[in-house]
Each structure stands twice: as structure tokens, then as C-alpha cells.
Amino acid sequence: MSVKNCEKLEKSQVALTIEIGAAEFEAAIEKAYQKMRKKVNVPGFRPGKAPRKVIEGMYGAEVFFEEAINVAFPDAYEAAVKEQDLQVVGYPSVELVGECTKDGFTFKATAPVYPEVTLGEYKGLSAPKDEVKVSAADVDERLKQLTDRNTRLVSVEREAKEGDTAVIDFEGFLGGKPFDGGKGENHSLELGSNSFVPGFEEQIVGMKAGEEKEIDITFPEDYHADLAGKAVVFKVKVHEVKEKEVPELDDEFAKDVSEFDTLKDLKADLKKKIAEERQKAADRAFEDALMEQVAAGLTAEVPDAMVEAQCHQFLDNFKMQISQQGIPYEQYLQMTGMDEAKLIEDAKEPAARQVRTDLAVAAIIKAENLEATDEEVEAEFQKMAEQYGMEIETVKKYLQIPQVKDQLVSRKAVETVVNSAVAVKAEKKAAAKKSSKKDDEAGETEGVKKTAKKPAKKAEKEAE
């Protein structure tokens, strides 16, 4: 193998012209013969026993050339990359140059490589930072969450009202015939949650346990194609009506849900935790704003392959997140009307930002000559062991020392930016309208519940 030319192209690509000589190609042809001979039928020989010369005599000397090229290429390409000291970041595109003969062949491989990076300003930057405040209303909201989690549902012998949970059987009929996804049994429906199609829950209000009823519903025009705008009838039977039994907010409640003896102490602890959470969020937002500036200020021709790889990393992370929530990936795509190509497309912009941030961090590490000592690595292992309640040796089985070192030096790079930066007062933002939690829940029964919203942007932000 010999590299005839190494040409730098735009978008951080390199074109390698590589020649495979006669001796190397002969060795590759022999390997191709050993691999293919069992598939070649030669009269008078058992499968795999025909000599190479006999096969070449029957089918021509070029019979093994194509496979031999495939055999020779990987080693030759890898050797050329190593010889030219290239940091390849994606798969190459390959084309033959001229003809392939018994004396060898020449090919051209065009591959994306790690870009040359020039840092802009990364010290002495400024960014807005939120001032952390916790109000009594914030603590009350957190207390409400605690009471909601400790609220029980108890059966009642009365008509269902909004806020109650009705345990129902239902089946939908379109033109007198049942439709797919329109049936459920012993389904617990919170009335007023707006988790079913408009008009359904309102007609359950007033029903009692044991009562049956037919409900007329017209599906919204923006529902999925099979039912959009269609008038249907649901046959509903109520098995049980349950109301919420909310615990009293007193010292006994504090003892039940925490390690504190009084409600006052519980409130003080909640206030402290909210402040800590908001401080971490403010610190992270400040850090992100600074690193966005650093990433925007660097000069680099980022190859498309790096962005595409980050897009797929985001997607893999998202698949893992939804699987942990018990939602199969294919089911998620079906519920949201999304496809993988759209998810990848939506991820391109945040992926490009992430790649530039990673390039900036790596450039700062190099510029500042940052390192992680053995003592720092050991301390990090110990910290993770305590955090996850594991033995330190167990943690070391899952994380390799180079990984931990990379994490530590990357953190040091970000701290270099943050510690030299100036925080300015953040402008007040308009209050965002809160969306109903129920609106974002995916329907278990497609024909009745609302279609799930398309959270592609949300997925990207979580992936980032």
C-alpha cells in the first residue's frame, strides 16, 4: 500500500488516493478464493475443492477481483489513515481510480476528519443569571404535590361529579359498528382531566355505580383520519365512583410524609430544597449561556458526519428515555404520528450546537493544558460510589479510568469559562402558560383518548 496523494477538501474532508500493489492484491485474491470457492460449481470437483487456477480458467482471471478489492480495502485504508496521522470522524466514500488488474488497483477514499479549531474569546465573558427566590406560594405548591401523592380514592354511593374518578367500561360505535381502539374495560377516568375526547367526560358526570348510558360524541376535525369529524356513539357502564380523600395539612401529615415532627419544619426543609434546586438550575443556565457564546465564537469547518452522529446519539438517548417510561419506540411513533426521519431532522440544529460546544471544550482543554490527576480520578470514583450507594470497585467495573478523566477535564474546561465570567441581572420573562399535564399523556385507547402531542422539540431539549 502506498498513499499517492492526500488532499484537504472543504467541510473538513480529506481525499486519500491509495495504491494497492501486485503482491498485496495477490494475497487479497487468494483470500477471496478461499472465501468464495465453496459457492463456485466446477464439473468434476466437489464443492470447495476446485483449484483456483481451474476456476479462473473457466470464469476468467477477474472472477475474484471484486471480492479481493473488498478484502484489501479496509486494511489499506486503515494503514493510510494511520500513516497520514488523520483523525477520521465518519465513514469514507470510495471510488476506483482506473482499472483493476492482476498488478493491483488504485482507489480514492474521501473521509470527514476532526476539524481544525480556532478558539475565540472564552474568558471574561458575561451572561444573565437568575436571582434565586422562594415564595410562600412556591412552598404551598410543593406541599400540594405532597398531598396529591398521599391522596386516596375512596368509593362513594352518589352521582359522579367533576374531580371524581369513575371506573367504566366503554365501547364506541361508528355507523352502528364497533371501531378499533374504541373499547375499554374497568378504566379509571378522572372527570375533568380532559384526557378523553371533548364531550365524553362531561356526560359521565351525574352517573352512578351500576348505571349504563349511551353517549353521543363528534370527534374533532384534527383527530386522526379514520375518526376526524365523525359522529359516534359510546355505550358506557359505570362500575364505581370514587372521590379524593385529601389529608389534612398538619403536624401528623408532616410525620407521615417526612422525617420531621412538625409542619413548620417540613415547610422550612421544602423551602431549602426548592432554593437549592433553583440555584442549580440558575447555575446550569448561566453555564449553558456562556458555553453557547464560546461555541458561537470558535472557527471550525464542522463536517456533516459529526452532526449526523450527534443526531443519532440524541435519538438513542431518547429511545432509552421513553423505554424507561414503559413506552415502546414504535408505539411512540404511531401515537405521535412521527417518523424517525423527522426526529433526526428536528435534532439537527441542537446537534450542531452540541458538536460546536464539544469542539470548544476540547480546544479549551488543549489551550489550558488541562489534566486530571490519579487522586482526582479516585476521588470521583468515591463520589459516584457514595451517590449511587455502591462499592467503589463495582463502580470501576462500569466506568473506565479514561472515561472519568475525560469527564473531569471537560468539567475543568467549563469551569475555566465560568470562573472568569461575570453574571449580569437577568431580564424578567413573561410568565409562560402552563399546559395541562393530562394533555401530554399518550392515549392508551387510541379511539377515545386525545391524540398525543408531538414532543419532538421537547425530546431534543432533553437529549441536549
- Residue 432 banded pLDDT, cuts 50, 70, 90: very low
What is the average pLDDT score of the chain?
A: 88
Pair (106, 191) in one structural domain: no
Q: What is the DSSP string of 377-442?
A: HHHHHHHHHHHHT--HHHHHHHS-HHHHHHHHHHHHHHHHHHHT-EEEEPPPPPPPPPPPGGGGSP
Pair (132, 183) in one structural domain: no
Tens of pLDDT, residues 101-124:
999 999 999 999 999 999 999 999
Domain span holding position 166 = 152-245
Tens of pLDDT, residues 275-290:
999 999 999 999 999 9
**What is the residue whose three cell numbers read 446537534?**
351
CATH, residue 361? 1.10.3120
Tens of pLDDT, residues 448-464:
444 333 333 433 444 33
Instruction: State what percent of residues in the chain have pLDDT above 70.
Output: 92
Rounded to an integer, the average pLDDT of 244-250 is 92
Q: In whole angstroms, give the CA distance from residue 393 to residue 382.
A: 9
Under 8 Å between Cβ of 454 and 336: yes
Pair (132, 279) in one structural domain: yes
Q: What is the pLDDT of residue 197?
A: 87
- Residue 28 banded pLDDT, cuts 50, 70, 90: very high
Beta strands (DSSP E) in 206-312 are: 212-218, 231-245
Q: In whole angstroms, give the CA distance from residue 358 to residue 63.
A: 48
Pair (43, 65) in one structural domain: yes
- Is 135 a domain residue? yes
Give the chain's domain count: 4
Q: What is the pLDDT of residue 225?
A: 65
CATH, residue 77? 3.30.70.1050
- Is 251 a domain residue? no
Pair (324, 443) in one structural domain: yes
State the DSSP H helix or E strand holding residue 18, giving kind and residue range, or none if neither.
strand 13-20
- Residue 440 banded pLDDT, cuts 50, 70, 90: very low
Pair (131, 53) in one structural domain: no
Query: Which residues make Cβ contacts (< 8 Å) with residue 89, sequence separation at least 6?
Result: 112, 113, 114, 303, 305, 306, 309
Pair (195, 236) in one structural domain: yes
- Is 252 a domain residue? no
Tens of pLDDT, residues 36-83:
988 888 888 888 889 999 999 999 989 999 999 999 999 999 999 999
Rounded to an integer, the average pLDDT of 228-255 is 92
- Is 332 a domain residue? yes
Q: Look at residue 447 and tell me whether its pLDDT is greater than 50.
A: no
Tens of pLDDT, residues 182-231:
889 999 999 999 888 889 999 999 999 999 999 999 988 887 767 888 89
Tens of pLDDT, residues 318-376:
999 988 988 888 888 887 778 899 899 999 999 999 999 999 999 999 999 999 999 99
Strand partners, 17: 5, 108
- Is 186 a domain residue? yes
- Is 183 a domain residue? yes
What are phi and psi for residue 352, nearest 5 degrees?
-65, -40
CA 285 from centroid of its chain's CA atoms: 20
Q: In whole angstroms, give the CA distance from residue 275 to residue 259.
A: 19
Q: In whole angstroms, give the CA distance from residue 445 to residue 337.
A: 15
- Is 226 a domain residue? yes
- Is 59 a domain residue? yes
Pair (379, 417) in one structural domain: yes
Pair (123, 219) in one structural domain: no
Under 8 Å between Cβ of 233 and 241: no
Q: What is the pLDDT of residue 435?
A: 41
Pair (434, 352) in one structural domain: yes
Tens of pLDDT, residues 257-268:
999 999 999 999
Tens of pLDDT, residues 125-182:
999 999 999 999 999 999 999 998 999 999 999 999 999 999 999 999 998 899 888 8
Pair (324, 213) in one structural domain: no
Pair (95, 156) in one structural domain: no
